[in-house]
Amino acid sequence: MGKVRVNLTVDVSIPQKGVSVNILVYEIGKIMPRIFFALLESVFSAVEERTTRELRATSPGRYVKNGHQNSSRQLRTPFGLFRYRLAQVWDKLESKNLIPLYRKIFIPSHRQYIAQTTEPGVGLAIHLSYRRSTMETERIKEVSMSYSTLWRHFQMFAKEMCSWPNLKKIPYRFLMVDGTKVCLQEKNKQGTLSKQVQMRWALASLGENKPFDLIGFWIDESWNHIAQKLKQRLNYSLMEVLFSDGEQGIEENLLEEGMRHQPCILHGKRDFAYILYQDGIKKPGQVLFQESLNSIPAMGLTMAKLEKLKPEDYPRVKELAEKTKQGFRELLNLLDKERYPSARTYIENFSLQVSTFFDWWFTTGKWIPLTTNAIESKFSQVTNRIKAVGRRWSKQGLLNWLKVSMNKIFHPEMWFDLWEKYLELTPTVEVNLVNVSYRWV
């Protein structure tokens, strides 16, 4: 369409005795919204003027200037509320008014908030409630919106920009899964709006000593459903090791032929106490069994200890592996299958797979994780925020919040790139500072 040059003149009064830089920066900051509005109004007016002229030149006699609309068009911008009375022309042929500005500048109808205005609030809603996020946004940016408006834009952003990509081209080899409880705003058995369900996550890694990436989360879904989704999303045939807390349903659905399972050692210790209690053994009576479990070499190992072991330590590692097997045999001898059926079954299953990390080292010379700490660490960054933002969630609302948090918390470096895509910022408009000069008046 062309280039429009806007000339602005700003007066800055400096007292003779000088001024604090804080005051100077504060006062210049205060005038920035007025400068922004002046520029925007000038561009709107210039576009209206040229578009009207082009219409009249293209169809002489058809279009007649018809003043401005009675009410102002309102836009909620990052600098506050902008009001502008749109010029209109009368189309004699169609017998209706046209808005010249809309021919060149595309403004969504029936919507005050432009998407860019909601970015601070959407980002804050990962850490605060929607209501508090709007209050903080208004305090910092002087942009006012209701919490329901922020919620609506948050859902739109999550649905449009935060879908899971196809990860089949990434050669992930390790899979880690776990779950924790969250509260949904659904009726429970007592009839109140507070239902506890499982939030389940999956992480994947390229291999030994590589980080685990978040590849999915689900609310109140079975492990069977999760397995189907992961097999659609990943090249599952490349998976070699499954890490988990041993929850029922994980192995049956996620452990494919050729994969190995490494149960979490820390979960093994914690869960053993609950299993013993199910068999009627209270805490004082558990001491002998707990001491026996803790004496097993594998149960006291950490990654820091394992990483100190070198290939020349093979005999020592072999001895640790043998003592681990012997330790579990001794523990099973203590657990009479008639008196402690649940505990015995648990240890039988646990002992078969807990030494996977030994077998892996004997084969590859590299250590794999002993615990699911990688996923627990990511849980800790999110679960407290979930409670801070809302006490009770809808299932879809929590899923959308998790989608946005995945980008804001775990990939903060991509946050602004994501918003550039959302705003569809293509280099079709250039705004350049042509000249800055000053003189004393």
Q: What percentage of the chain has pLDDT greater than the value 90?
A: 47
Based on the number of CB atoms within 10 Å of its own CB, is 158 exposed (0-12), middle (13-18) or buried (19 or more)?
Answer: buried
Q: Confidence band (pLDDT; 50, 70, 90) for 407? A: confident
Can you give the residue ranges of every domain in the chain? 21-112, 116-161+394-422, 229-381
Q: What is the pLDDT of residues 93-142, one digit of tens each?
A: 999 999 999 999 998 888 888 888 999 999 988 888 888 898 988 888 77
Of residues 19, 114, 134, 34, the one with CA closest to residue 73:
114
Please determine, for residue 233, whether its predicted confidence score (pLDDT) is greater than 90. yes
Both structure tokens of 137 = 């946004």
Both structure tokens of 40 = 């925007």
pTM of the model: 0.79
- What is the CB neighbour count within 10 angstroms for residue 402? 24
Q: What is the pLDDT of residues 333-372, one digit of tens each?
A: 999 888 889 999 999 989 888 889 999 999 999 999 999 9
* Cβ(400)–Cβ(155) below 8 Å: yes
Distance CA 222, CA 249 (A): 8
Distance CA 35, CA 433 (A): 13
DSSP per-residue string spanning 322-391? HHHHHHHHHHHHHS-TTT-HHHHHHHHHHHHHTTHHHHHHHHHS----SS-HHHHHHHHHHHHHHHHH-S
Distance CA 86, CA 156 (A): 28
Distance CA 45, CA 87 (A): 8
* Cβ(193)–Cβ(259) below 8 Å: no
Distance CA 343, CA 244 (A): 19
Q: What is the pLDDT of residues 376-400, one digit of tens each?
A: 888 888 887 887 777 678 889 899 9
Please determine, for residue 30, whether its predicted confidence score (pLDDT) is greater than 80. yes
* pLDDT given at position 191: 63
* pLDDT given at position 74: 93
261 by DSSP, 3-state: which?
strand
